[in-house]
Structure formats: C-alpha cells, structure tokens
Structure 1
Amino acid sequence: MLPRSQYRRDRTIALMDPLSDVLSLLKPRAYVTGCLSAGNPWSLQLPAYEGIKCYAVVTGECWLSVSGVEQPVRLRAGNCLLLPHGRPFLIASDLALPPVDARTIIASIERYQGVLTVTPGDDFFLLGSHFALEGDARFLLEVLPTIVMLKDEAQQESVRWAVERMLREMRDFQPGGTLVAQQVAYTLLVEALRLHSADDARRGSGWLFALADPRMRTVLTLIHQSPAHGWTLEELARSVGMSRTAFAQNFRGSVGESPMAYIRRWRMTLAANRIQDKRESIASVAPSLGYQSESAFSAAFKRHWGRSPRQYHQEPTP
C-alpha cells in the first residue's frame, strides 16, 4: 500500500495525466493540415478515413452531414469540431446540391499558400487536420460521439489562439512552419477533447468525462501512474477521502465500470500497446503491469483481447 504522503506527492508532481497517457499510446500524428475555401454554392463529399479529423470554421457557414447521423449540423464561424469515427461525410452550403466527390477532384484542386479551393470565392473558409493514430484507438474512441462539437463562446475563445497560430504558420511559410503547425494542431486536438469532457461531464460516462470530477481525476491519475500496483477498493477510496461504498458508486456512475474493471482494462491497453510496439518481450511486460507470472498475464490478455500475447505480437490488428 502506498503511504498517504506518496499520494500527495503524486498529485503534486504528476508528469502525466490520464488524457495525456491515452494520447501518448495512440501517437496521434497530424499528417494532413490545411485550409479549405469555397464560394457559394458548393457541396463536397468526403470518403471514409482512418484516424480523427479536427476542423475549425474560420469564416462563413455550411452544413455538415455525417453518414449514420440522422440530423445534419449547421456550422458557423468559430465552431470547432472533431470527427473521430472515420465515417463518410458531406459539407455543403446547401444540402440539396449534388455533391462533388473529393476523390475525383483532389488532383486538380488548386493549392495556393496551403489552401484547397473547392469553388472560387471566399464565402467559406475552414481549417482542418487529419490525425493518424498509430496505437489501438478504442480506449479513446469508445467514449466519443460521432460528432464532437465545440460551439459556445467560451469554448471558441479557448481554441482561437491555436486556430490563428496555425493559419499564420501556413500562410507565412517560415522555416520549420510545418512542424509548428502540426504541434499546434495537436494542441487543438487536446483542447477539443478537454473541453468536450468538461462540457458533457453530466451527460456522458467514461474515463474522459470522469476527468471533470477532481476526485475521479485523482484516482484515474494514480491508476495510470502505477498500473503494476496491487490497488484495492479501500486504498483508492481512501486516497480521495471517501468511504468504500460511496467511492465504488461514484466511480461506476462517472466512469461507467467498477474500479477493478477499469484497472484491468487499462493494464490490457498498455499491454497491447507494448506488445504491438515490439520493443519489449512478453516476459518483461507481465511484471511491469502487476502480473506475478507470464502464464497469469497471458490468460488475462487472452480473456480481454481474444488472442494470446504471442498471437497479438504477430498480428496486432483484430
């Protein structure tokens, strides 16, 4: 059991938090960052993709219609959104217009100072990034809706700096500008996730939304910092000054599963990432996650992922 002083020290000098932990495992990389301009009328159909798309509307308005989502969404200047599930989507000044397939025009789209021009004119201007995820994304994507919208004034203000900086880097073409734009895009992604978790904390459940609760954030941080520790319900409850029963109920209500189930799932997420990375042996992964033997670890891994660690090492994608 960790002493109480250790809990205080962990909370004070924590180098990683749960959101940072998860994103570091996914290794998001902004491999496309650019702008889109259009003059009315226009309509563009974009295909399915892998990863997360992040957009910020700079000027103008348009409609967004995502496959599988019944109601289209009206986007206005200042709106920031994430599309995390890779579904085909349509953006248009008028949804009644026949859309142009982006794949058919990508070779002929005019590129000028980093801007993709769909139709001549300046009625609409959009900034976007497409993040490739190199790790297993389920831990993050399962708690996100199809469309993550940030549209109130406070949220717009918090992402405005990132949007303006990305535009400046893309327009000025300074040395190192591509790298700076990618890092700012990463900041925009983190800010969008952080604001979404705070905004939807009362309506959603899952580790992302639980981060808005200081007590649950403390517990999740402890678990993430020390995944190999033999955590008990009593120990976690005591770390935030709650009774065992109250803590268990509060954790399940905000995170959506029991503390022990969350610990097992986080350990298995770390295990899959380390095995997929192929820089650690399976024998070394087991003790680093609190398993006393490789056989016990292998059995737990197979229960969670449906394959043995060795099978996952050979072919990580399900």
Structure 2
Amino acid sequence: MDPLEDVLALLETRGHLSAGLVAGGQWAVRFEAPQGVKFNAVRRGSCLLEVEGFDAPVELAEGDCYLLAHRRPFTLRSDPEAVPVPASPLFARTEDGVARAGEGDDTFLVGGRFSFGARAQELLLDRLPPVIHIPAGAWHAETMQWALSAIDQELTHRQLASTLVAEHLAVVMLVHVLRLHLAREPHAVSGWLAGLADPLVATALAALHQDPARAWTVAELARVCAVSRSTLAARFKATVGQGPLEYLTRWRIELAARQLREGGATLASIAHTVGYGSESALSVAFKRVLGKPPGDYRKHPPMP
C-alpha cells in the first residue's frame, strides 16, 4: 500500500450516495452542516455554491465536482437573488431517487458523503482545505468523470447490488479528487498529504508505510531516497511538519490503535507487529502520542 491508500483503509472510508437534485428556473436550497465529507457533481447545467465562512460563491459548471471537507452549512443556488429553502423537506419528498427545486430540470446534481472511522479528523480532514473544487477541465479530470459516469449508470439501470457498486465507485472518485487536488494545489494541504506532493518525501513515506515495523534510521531512509541524511531530514520536516522518525512513531501508534479497536490481540503481539520490542516500549510511545495508555484506549476507543 502507499500512504494515501494506507490512511483511507485505516479510516475505513465509505461512500454513501444521497438522492440527486434536479432544479430549474430560479432556485436555492440551503443544507445544514453535513456529517462526514460532502460531495456533489454537476451532471447537467450550472449553479453557485455558497459555503458558510467564505465571502465569494464557487461557480459550478457542468462536469464540476466539489468536496466539503469541513462541517459547514452550505447553499446551492441558481443565482444570488434566489431565496433559499431548507433541504430536508425537499429530500423527504424524493421521487425516483431525486429531489426537485424550482421549476424545470435545467440542472442536475448527484452527490453523497464519505464517512470515516475513528481518527479521521486529525489524520485526514484537518489536512484538507474546507472546500475542494475540481473543474471539469482540470488536468486528468477525465478519470474522475469516468467514475461519475459509472455511478450514473449503476443508479439509472439498477442492476444487482447497484447501490453497493455505486458507493464503492464514490470512494474511487474520492481518490481521484485527492490526486487531482494534490497535483494542482500541493501547497493547499498540510502534513503527510503535503509530503505526497514532494517526490523525495513521498519516496520516504512510501518506504515507511511499506515496512513500519523495521528499525529505521534516518541514514537508512536517506539511502532509500538516494540523498544525504541532512537533505532528507530538512525536506521531510519542512514538508510534513515533523521528522521522519517522529512520523514513523505516530504511524506505528495509529496502526496499534486500530488493532486495539478491532479485537483482542495481546499488547505484546501488537507491539511486535508495529515495531516495538516490548509492551512497555509501546505503552510509553502510545501514551505520549494519544494521551492515554493502550489499556484505557481499548476500553474507551474514540468515536468516529
């Protein structure tokens, strides 16, 4: 696995599709702050996206997609003068999988949200800007358009397990959106995500994720990256915000925390799988990173 795949798997990323929105004429729909990460794609027409806390609306054209990575109320509207109505009553009256606003069908949006397990806020969502807008003409956006078209087909033809397939395709779309965003605006993210946009740091991250239990030193990691120790250490710290071994410690603790949440493996076994020689060594590192000993964490794991 690469770091992005590792984190999305660790966070148990799932896609959930909602009813589509068909709108025409003058219209506006106000949405409460979503649970998880909200996404919409404009399959026909155009509209404006207004997000609480942002001065200017985002203009959405046909083929555009956006993610709301932070929980903020937002409004979709045809024009600035349209008076918004709350979304909940509209979506409570869906027909054939779509809600309707205004008069006509000039605009059609598909959407949903992504949910995550524990630790998503710190590991992923806090690293992203509140709004990610991917225009239809963005570099390599055709891969995302393929995922959206496939979702459309699944929901239109309703073959066996179509909802399950469509929700997995939504996760594929999320990966493409994150790839495109990293390629287009590498400085708009922080932490390990920013490291993926730097070829040198990305090589180091991939090595650490491929074998987290290895007794890495900065010198060994620098050899893998074909640079000096000082170059790797400085570049990694400047990009990710922490040194490579500090990052490794935190990633090992995230892996250990997942095992504690998932089942009854002994602490000694967990320590061995994540690269610690003893329970006590893991316990010290675990408390330093997550603020509580492993035993307390197992009894009272964080809620998603």
Q: Structures share a fold, TM > 0.5?
A: yes
Aligned to 2:204: 219
Aligned to 2:247: 262
Work out whether 1:198 is the aligned partner of 2:183.
Answer: yes
Identity of aligned residues (%): 41
Q: Per-residue CA shift, 1:59-92, capped at 9, x if unaligned? A: 2222212223333212111211111222221111
- Give the length in aligned residue pairs: 301
Which secondary structure state, in structure 2, belongs to the residue aligned with residue 251 of structure 1? helix
Moved more, 152-161 or 191-200: 152-161
Partner letter of residue 160 of structure 2? P
Q: Per-residue CA shift, 1:17-72, capped at 9, x if unaligned? A: 11110010111112334421111211111112322122211122222122233332
TM-score when scaled to structure 1? 0.88
Structure 2: unaligned runs, 5 residues or longer: none
Partner letter of residue 82 of structure 2? L
Structure 1: unaligned runs, 5 residues or longer: 1-15
Aligned to 1:28: 13
Query: Residue 134 of structure 1: which of 117, 122, 125 is its match?
Result: 117
Instruction: Sort the Cα spacing of 1:315 and 1:118 in 2 relative to 1 into closer, same or farther, 3 A.
Output: farther
Aligned to 1:41: 26
After TM superposition, give the deviation of residue 233 of structure 1 in Å. Answer: 0.8
After TM superposition, give the deviation of residue 203 of structure 1 in Å. Answer: 5.0
Aligned to 1:174: 159
Alignment of 1:1-318 (within 5 A): 16-107=1-92, 109-112=93-96, 114-137=97-120, 138-151=122-135, 152-317=137-302
Alignment RMSD: 1.9
Check whether the contact 1:205–1:253 (CA below 8 A) recurs between aligned residues.
no
Instruction: Sort the Cα spacing of 1:173 and 1:301 in 2 relative to 1 into closer, same or farther, 3 A.
Output: same
Q: Per-residue CA shift, 1:255-310, capped at 9, x if unaligned? A: 22211221122112222222122343333222211222212211211121122212
Aligned to 1:9: none
Q: Distance in 2 between matches of 1:306 and 1:243?
A: 34
Check whether the contact 1:33–1:181 (CA below 8 A) recurs between aligned residues.
no
Moved more, 77-86 or 95-104: 95-104
Moved more, 275-284 or 157-166: 275-284
TM-score when scaled to structure 2? 0.92
After TM superposition, give the deviation of residue 315 of structure 1 in Å. Answer: 1.8
Check whether the contact 2:128–2:188 (CA below 8 A) recurs between aligned residues.
no
Instruction: Sort the Cα spacing of 1:27 and 1:104 in 2 relative to 1 into closer, same or farther, 3 A.
Output: same
Partner letter of residue 130 of structure 1? R
Check whether the contact 1:218–1:240 (CA below 8 A) recurs between aligned residues.
yes
Which secondary structure state, in structure 1, belongs to the residue aligned with residue 139 of structure 2? helix
Q: Distance in 2 between matches of 1:81 and 1:221?
A: 28
Check whether the contact 2:2–2:209 (CA below 8 A) recurs between aligned residues.
yes
